[in-house]
Structure 1
Amino acid sequence: MLEGCKTAQERWGGVHKLIDGWLNERQDVIVLYCGINTLKPFSPKETPMSIKIQAFCQMLMDYCSAGHFEIYQQLLEEAKLYDDGGTELANRAYPVLEEMTQQCVDFNDKYDSAEHCLEKISDLSKDLSDLGEMLSERFELEDRLIEKLHNVHRELVAS
């Protein structure tokens, strides 16, 4: 997953500052995900694990929000502007991304506080695994959108 993120930045980084920042956030999400996925269970309320999970949840929500309220809108505007088939891809991809975002929100709601982490600790391993699989699919879909809706127009957009 982290390697795919680096590849995306190498391919599209520098094309547009908004997308660059978002791809950096994606990398931060992956790093935090990997960090909490390797931690051992905890017992006290304010342990490093619960704090790391909460930091991950916050970064995940920031990433999803930027996608929906900034990046996807920018990509859709480019698709409409150039009218080269990108809107069809966007219309197919956005409902899938919305469903994936809801899964991220559900994870956040489940683990957004130390108390919630303690209550749901037995679910954490499976929830992280499911979330990781979904995030990998999400990143691939987002990369396809960037490729089709932005990268093909990068010279024109950068002007």
Structure 2
Amino acid sequence: MLESCQNAQERWGGVHKLIDRWLQDRNELITAYDTLGAEPGAFSEKRAPLQEFCGTLVDYVSAGHFEIYEQLTSEAKAFHNQRGLELADTLYPRIDVITEKLLAFNDLCDEGKCVAEKFKELGGLLHERFELEDCLIEVLHTAHKEQVVAQA
């Protein structure tokens, strides 16, 4: 996962500060996931790393829904990117489903019911979400990045 995150930063980094910050947040989420997954007993003994991961997870998900997706959609509308808007309409519902599963994991952890099996499922969900988000960035933002940079 970390390698695909670095690839995303190389492709889109510097184009827009909001996306740059979000990709950095993604990198921190992946690092927290890997660190937690490598700790034996992280789900039974040590709550601090788990709480830190969950906080990072919720922050990342929230930024996507309340900042990034809105920005990308606004850009697509401003630059009359109909193809991008149609793609967003197709991908957002799947991202919403993944978001609900990620937040449900966080809720389990808040209740002290977090288990390693659910944590492992998160890896696949995060990977899928990152791929969908990269697709959105590519189509909604990169298609007109020269115009955006010129206006900045």
Give the TM bin, normalised by the shorter chain: over 0.9
User: In percent, how many aligned pairs have the same letter?
Assistant: 48
SS of structure 2 residue aligned to 1:40: coil
Please report how far the alpha carbon of residue 133 of structure 1 lies from its aligned counterpart in structure 2 after TM superposition.
Answer: 0.3
Unpaired runs of 5+ residues, structure 1, are none
Correspondent of 1:69 among 56, 59, 66: 66
Please report how far the alpha carbon of residue 82 of structure 1 lies from its aligned counterpart in structure 2 after TM superposition.
Answer: 1.9
Give the equivalent residue in structure 1 for 2:84: 86
The one-letter code matched in structure 2 to 1:8 is A
- Aligned residues: CA RMSD: 1.5
Residues 157 and 59 of structure 1: is their aligned pair in 2 closer, same or farther, counting only changes over 3 Å?
same
Please report how far the alpha carbon of residue 83 of structure 1 lies from its aligned counterpart in structure 2 after TM superposition.
Answer: 2.2
Correspondent of 2:125 among 134, 141, 145: 134
Unpaired runs of 5+ residues, structure 2, are none
Tell me the TM-score normalized by structure 1.
Answer: 0.89
Tell me the TM-score normalized by structure 2.
Answer: 0.92
Give the equivalent residue in structure 2 for 1:143: 134
The one-letter code matched in structure 1 to 2:132 is L
Correspondent of 1:95 among 88, 93, 96: 93
- Deviation string for 1:30-65 (max 9, x for gaps)? 000001111111698xx5x31011000000000000
For 1:34 and 1:94, locate their aligned partners in 2 and report how far apart those are by CA, in whole Å: 26
Residues 26 and 43 of structure 1: is their aligned pair in 2 closer, same or farther, counting only changes over 3 Å?
closer
Give the equivalent residue in structure 1 for 2:3: 3
Runs of at least 4 residues off by over 6 Å: none
